[in-house]
Amino acid sequence: MQLRNKHTQLIKTEAKRLGFLSCGISKAEFLEEEAPRLENWLNKNMHGEMSYMENHFDKRLDPTLLVPDSKSVISLLLNYFPSEGQKDPEAPKLSKYAYGTDYHFVIKDKLKQLLNFIQEEIGEVHGRAFVDSAPVLDKAWAAKSGMGWIGKHSNLLTQQVGSFYFIAELIVDLDLEYDSATTDHCGSCTACIDACPTEAIVDQYVVDGSKCISYFTIELKENLPESYKGKFDDWMFGCDICQDVCPWNRFSKPHNEPLFNPHPDLLSMTKNDWEEISQEVFSKVFKKSAVKRTKFSGLKRNIEFLKE
C-alpha cells in the first residue's frame, strides 16, 4: 500500500513538472456505464461519416484489451487556452485548439517522457500512450479519475479551469492509488444547448456528432449540406461555441506551452486574407498544425461555404 502511494505521488509530481494541468488515476477495467451509452449513440448514427467510431467497440470500453495485464489508466490534462484570439471580428473562425503545433505531437512527446520516467524510477512497467488516436474514451476515463465531470455539451469540465484542455492517457500494468469521481456542477444551466447554432446538443449530455460544426468542417469529406448554410456562425475549422458560452470557462487561464503559440501571421489575418488564402500561405501558417487534417482544399471549401 505504501509503495503504491509512493509510486502514485512520483507520477503525479512528474506529470506536473512536464506541464500537465492535472493527473488522475483510475483502475483499468470495463466501463460498464459507458457501454449502453456508446451503443445507443452509434445505433442512432450520431457519429455520421466517422465510421472509425464503430470499430473496436470492446477495446473502447475495456483498456485491458488494449494493454494486456493493465492495472491503471493515468489520465492527464494539458491546457491549450490562448492568451489572445483572432484580431478581425469579421474573419472566419478557427478553433482555439488548432492555433499552434498539432497537439498529437506535443502530448505524445510528453507522454513518452512520463513513461520513461516511470520505467526509470519504478522499474519494469509496460504501458502505452494514447492521444485521441486510438479507441479510448478519454473523457470517461478523465471523469472516472476525478479530474472533472462531463458537461451537458459532453466535454469534460472542471471548476478550476473550465474545459479548454486536451485529454491523454497512459495505460500501464502498474497498481496505483485510484482517485474517485467528482460531482456534476452544471445544475440547471443550458447555455451550451441554447447557443449551438446547429442544435447538435440534442439532449442534455448527448451531442449528435453528425450535426456538429466541428464534424462538418473537419471530418466530413464530401460537400457541406446546403440545409446548414448560414448556420456555421463563421467557423471555418472546428467550433468553440459550447465552450465559449460555458460559465465555468471564465476561469480559463492562458497556457504556457510555447508549441501551442500560433504562427505570427495567423491571428492578424483578415476576412479578406482568409478568402484569398493560397496553398503557399496555408502551408506556411499551418506547417505543423492540426488544420492540415482538413487540407488546403477542405479549408477553402469551408471558407466558401461561409460566404453569403
Question: What is the model's pLDDT at position 184?
Answer: 96
Q: Report CA 33 to chain centroid distance, whole Å.
A: 21
Q: Give residue 306's Cα distance to chain centre.
A: 25
Would you please indicate which residues are annotated as catalytic (active-site) residues?
132
**Percent composition of the chain: helix, strand, coil (DSSP 3-state, to 5):** 40, 15, 45
Q: Which pTM value belongs to this model?
A: 0.94
For residue 8, the enclosing domain spans: 1-308
Q: How far is residue 90's CA from residue 251's CA, in Å, rounded to a whole number?
A: 26
Question: In which residue are the cell numbers 451537458 written?
Answer: 152
Task: Say which residues have a Cβ less than 8 Å from residue 116's Cβ, sequence separation at least 6.
Answer: none
pLDDT on residue 257: 96
C-alpha cell at 59: 477495446
Cell representation of residue 258: 510555447
Task: Give the per-residue pLDDT at 52.
Answer: 81
What pLDDT is stored for residue 195 in this prediction? 98
Is residue 107 within 8 A of residue 77, CB to CB? The reply is: no
CA 172 to each of CA 14, 24, 84, 256: distance values in angstroms, whole numbers, following the listed order:
16, 13, 37, 28
Measured between its terminal Cα atoms, the distance across the chain in Å is 64
The CA dihedral of 163, 166, 171, 175, to the nearest 10 degrees, is -40
**Residue 155 has what pLDDT?**
96
Q: Sign of dihedral through CA atoms 61, 56, 20, 122?
A: positive
Contacts of 139 (CB under 8 A, 6+ apart): 150, 154, 155, 156, 167
**In whole angstroms, what is the distance from residue 187 CA to residue 178 CA?**
27
Residue 295 and residue 289: Cα distance in Å, rounded? 11
| H or E element at residue 73 | strand 72-79
Give the chain's radius of gyration (CA, Å): 20
Quote the pLDDT of residue 117.
97
Residues of the chain with pLDDT under 70: none
Q: How far apart are CA 220 and CA 227, in angstroms?
A: 15
Q: At what angle do helices 103-122 and 2-17 cross, to 10 degrees?
A: 140
Query: CB under 8 Å to 214, separation ≥6 — which residues?
Result: 95, 238, 239
Strand spans (E) along 92-150: 93-94, 127-130, 149-150
Q: Please give the tally of structural domains in the chain.
A: 1
Q: What is the dihedral of CA 5, 9, 10, 14, to 10 degrees?
A: 160
Can you give the pLDDT at residue 267?
96
81 grid coordinates: 487556452
pLDDT digits (tens, 9 = 90+) for 5-55: 999 999 999 999 999 999 999 999 999 999 888 888 989 988 888 888 888
CB 243 within 8 Å of CB 249: yes
Q: Which residue has the cell 497537439?
A: 103
